[in-house]
Structure 1
Amino acid sequence: MTTTVSPQTESTSRPRLGRGVAFTLIAVIIATFLGASATPTPLYEHYQQLWGFSSLASTLVFGIYALALLATLLTAGSLSDHIGRRPVLLGALALEAVSLALFASADGLTILLIARVVQGVATGAAISALGSALIDLERTPGRGSIINSVAPTMGLAVGAVGSSLISEHLPRPTSTVYLVLLVLVILEIFGVWAAPETSGGRPGAWQSLRPTLAVPRQARTMIALTAPCLIAVWALGGFYLSLGPALARNALDVHSSLIGAIMVATLTGFGAAAVLTFRKLGGRTVMLIGTTALVLGVAVTLIGAETSSAVLILVGTAVAGIGFGAGFQGTILTVMPLAENHERAGLLSTVYVIAYLANSLPALLAGYLVGKVGLVDTTRGYGALVMVLAAAALIGLLVTGERKVEAVSVSE
């Protein structure tokens, strides 16, 4: 027979953070995980110089992380509901620390790939527990959901730019940034240890490790309509995080990791701004904005790449970033309310499967094609694919009309 320690009993034996401080800590940890995932992106040029990195290798380093994250999310995504938030977060942070130590000591592609797999497992284990903890700790209804949407994209932006600045201005460019993050993660481990437990736990931990994918009958039409937008959004993010720096160097002839980091930060930063700006609009409206912005933004970015215009590339990336944030937010707002309470976990898992496969597989294919047809032609084809998918979703929404699309408003 097993017993469950209640949060109240447990908290008397150790220091405890207040709920407001714990809420802020969880938001910072979300940003840390996603920021750490973007840290290798500006370093690809350094890796190329050290180890003869190819474009395929850089997309492999990115793609294997996304696949490891997806596999872990599907199996351990609800584990914190059963054993508590703190044990899952402590384990995930410990794994993240291991991955950062591996990154800092990497002397070739093999260790780098192992580090990315460990990082993907850590992030996949943490992401659900972190999101749930934010909702548990929120004092204002809806605030946790907003932070859940904004913190990851802001973390990506800060991680990319911070990695670039540290690698360019401090010694040991391929290890210093990881050591800085390692110190931060260790501090966060102590913070989580002192944080209140917000889930009392329940039986069925082993059964929860079985992947659950389900699309309720009433949501199938809408999943089919929104899937092209979901794929376009996450495929675009995968391209920027894997080949974005190479595109910046090739189009602008600038050999600084900062320009690639700025591109990633522009995409994700404007994505976060879109989530905040459109948070009170209905799902269909947000998706219409997102798909339109994706088509226009990618088109302008491609024109900028063809003409070697830094201004057009950044403007296009900013507009595409609005599509990045609004497209995903609109998908969630449109699809998730169609499921009953007991159906939402399976439906959300399905959404994330589509998202992370779109995030990794097209980027891996692009890395392979760069070696065959070159970066310019690969970028053209990739951009065209994203625009076609976004346009298909836009047309589907316009043809279907508001009558069949559930619009959901989210209040702060």
Structure 2
Amino acid sequence: MIDNIAPDGRIQAVPPVDGRRARAGFWLVAAVYTLVMLGGTLPLPLYALWAPQMGFGPFTTTLIFAVYALGTVLALMVFASLSDRAGRRPLLAAAVLAAATSTVLFLLADDVGTLLAARFLCGLSTGVFTATATAALGELAGAKHTRRVSTVSTAANMGGLGLGTVVAGLFAQYGANPTHLVFWAYLVSLAPALLAVIVTPETVTAPQRPAVSVRRPTIPDRQAARTEFLRAATAVLAAFAVSGLFSSLVPSFLREQLHVHNAAAVGSEVGLLFIVALIALVAAPERWISGRWPAPAFLVAGVAVFETGLWTRSLPTFATRTLLAGTGIGLAFRRGVGVAQRLADTRRRADLLSTYFLFAYTGTIVPTLALGLLDQTINQDVATLILAVGVIATTLAGALSRPATATT
């Protein structure tokens, strides 16, 4: 079947590649996707080690965390949708190379400036790979396997994020060089990852030379589809806001308030949130995933219990929050990816997915930066409570929005 050129000049994605190459390509992309996301959370347990070495405090830690999300958002606004024209494989390869460059900077980092540059480049890599790999998985699997695509893509995302903190914590606690050995191992692993991308079948034919420009977020044209998409996007914004708050607060909270100094334990506690999300999105009943209320209910309960744990300095309460919020994040994320895949124009699949992930990482940036700013003027517990109320309000606003009745 010959591809057509759309009226807007975009190249339509080819039908799924036949046979073994498509199946092999699907799992290769999923594996590399997991690896790239793993790299995104490797630094989290290491901030406590870098801080005394480089002389920075909590606000700088928050800034470094937010710079990663800013890089991701920039990638989603400028680069991620280029694969609709240039092809999936070139963008995936570029993202792996960006991850490798970021890893080299982490190895060389001896000041905050280099750390910020490494984190920003890591965010660029994650943003490009997230949207492009999700689009490629959908095309390699075919329209008949949308459930498999949403399950595998969200599992790769959440699984990678969870494994990153666990792996970094283990290396930091038991490795010879806590802030370097894990990055050497990761850099080596990116070589076969690049080869896997190169041998993966391309799903966009006759690629054109893309023009780089800042894109406006794309949403479906039909009102009913637009409302459905925005509800799913609002849910994932709230879910990532919860994960952003958790990831930025937990390492310092465990060390300073609960006196947990084992890096492997800290990394595992952060990673547990994403592992629970992974289990939820894989094992949850379909009615939980497709339902309007399960994800918001788990998120709201998780935030409430999280705040209780912060104020009471209770580790068991804190762990309960991880189970509740992780379940909500997994449900919201998988449902949203499925909605975006289903509503996306096949000629512009990465475009709509970029918008979806833009909502997600915006949810990470806003509360993280706000926490860093508020923490300079008021008590951290009060600052966190203010942000928790905002996250709950956003979650409920999205869940309570009425479905559209118009179809045009």
Provide TM-score, normalisation by structure 2: 0.84
What's the counterpart of residue 381 of structure 1? 386
Q: Is residue 2:281 matched to residue 1:281?
A: no
Shift in Å, 1:182: 0.3
What's the counterpart of residue 328 of structure 1? 333
Shift in Å, 1:119: 1.4
Residue 57 of structure 2, aligned match among 48, 54, 59: 54
> 1:12-411 alignment to 2 at 5 Å?
18-138=21-141, 141-142=145-146, 143-203=148-208, 205-207=209-211, 209-215=213-219, 216=221, 218=223, 219-222=225-228, 225=231, 228-278=234-284, 280-281=286-287, 285=291, 287-333=292-338, 347-394=352-399, 396=400, 400=402
Aligned partners of 1:297 and 1:316 also within 8 Å? yes
Cα deviation digits, residues 12-34 of structure 1 (max 9, x gap): xxxxx954443322112111111
61-70 or 32-41, which deviates more: 61-70
Shift in Å, 1:158: 0.6
Within 2, Cα distance between the matches of 1:50 and 1:229? 39
Aligned partners of 1:56 and 1:368 also within 8 Å? yes
Within 2, Cα distance between the matches of 1:242 and 1:338? 33
Residue correspondences, number:
387
Within 2, Cα distance between the matches of 1:369 and 1:99? 30
Aligned partners of 2:83 and 2:350 also within 8 Å? no
In the alignment, structure 1 segments of 5+ residues that lack a partner are 1-16, 407-412
Amino acid at match of 1:141: H
Aligned partners of 2:29 and 2:196 also within 8 Å? no
Q: Cα distance 1:322–1:113, how it changes in 2: closer, same or farther (>3 A)?
A: same
Shift in Å, 1:108: 1.0
Aligned partners of 2:131 and 2:357 also within 8 Å? no
Shift in Å, 1:344: 6.3
Q: Cα distance 1:39–1:324, how it changes in 2: closer, same or farther (>3 A)?
A: same
Shift in Å, 1:49: 1.9
Q: Cα distance 1:201–1:163, how it changes in 2: closer, same or farther (>3 A)?
A: farther
Cα deviation digits, residues 17-56 of structure 1 (max 9, x gap): 9544433221121111111110111011101121222222
Cα deviation digits, residues 162-190 of structure 1 (max 9, x gap): 00010111122111111110000012122
Aligned partners of 1:31 and 1:151 also within 8 Å? yes
Within 2, Cα distance between the matches of 1:234 and 1:214? 20
Cα deviation digits, residues 83-120 of structure 1 (max 9, x gap): 33332222221121111010011001100111112212
Amino acid at match of 1:133: A
Shift in Å, 1:343: 7.5
Matched residues, percent identical? 29
In the alignment, structure 2 segments of 5+ residues that lack a partner are 1-19
Cα deviation digits, residues 57-83 of structure 1 (max 9, x gap): 112112111111111122222323333
Within 1, Cα distance between the matches of 2:232 and 2:311? 30
Q: Cα distance 1:279–1:69, how it changes in 2: closer, same or farther (>3 A)?
A: farther
Amino acid at match of 1:72: A
Shift in Å, 1:356: 1.7
232-241 or 366-375, which deviates more: 366-375
Q: Cα distance 1:375–1:280, how it changes in 2: closer, same or farther (>3 A)?
A: same
Shift in Å, 1:130: 1.7
Aligned partners of 1:271 and 1:325 also within 8 Å? yes
Aligned partners of 1:284 and 1:405 also within 8 Å? no
Amino acid at match of 1:112: L
Within 2, Cα distance between the matches of 1:126 and 1:343? 16
Within 2, Cα distance between the matches of 1:336 and 1:18? 22
Amino acid at match of 1:99: S
Q: Cα distance 1:90–1:344, how it changes in 2: closer, same or farther (>3 A)?
A: closer
Q: Cα distance 1:335–1:199, how it changes in 2: closer, same or farther (>3 A)?
A: closer
Amino acid at match of 2:304: A
User: SS at the partner of 2:205?
Assistant: coil
Shift in Å, 1:334: 5.5
Shift in Å, 1:235: 0.9
Amino acid at match of 1:361: V
- Over aligned residues, Cα RMSD in angstroms? 3.1
Q: Cα distance 1:169–1:365, how it changes in 2: closer, same or farther (>3 A)?
A: same
Q: Cα distance 1:200–1:209, how it changes in 2: closer, same or farther (>3 A)?
A: farther
User: SS at the partner of 2:45?
Assistant: helix
Provide TM-score, normalisation by structure 1: 0.84
Within 1, Cα distance between the matches of 2:232 and 2:21? 40
User: SS at the partner of 1:252?
Assistant: coil
Q: Cα distance 1:327–1:135, how it changes in 2: closer, same or farther (>3 A)?
A: closer
Within 2, Cα distance between the matches of 1:130 and 1:226? 20
43-52 or 133-142, which deviates more: 133-142
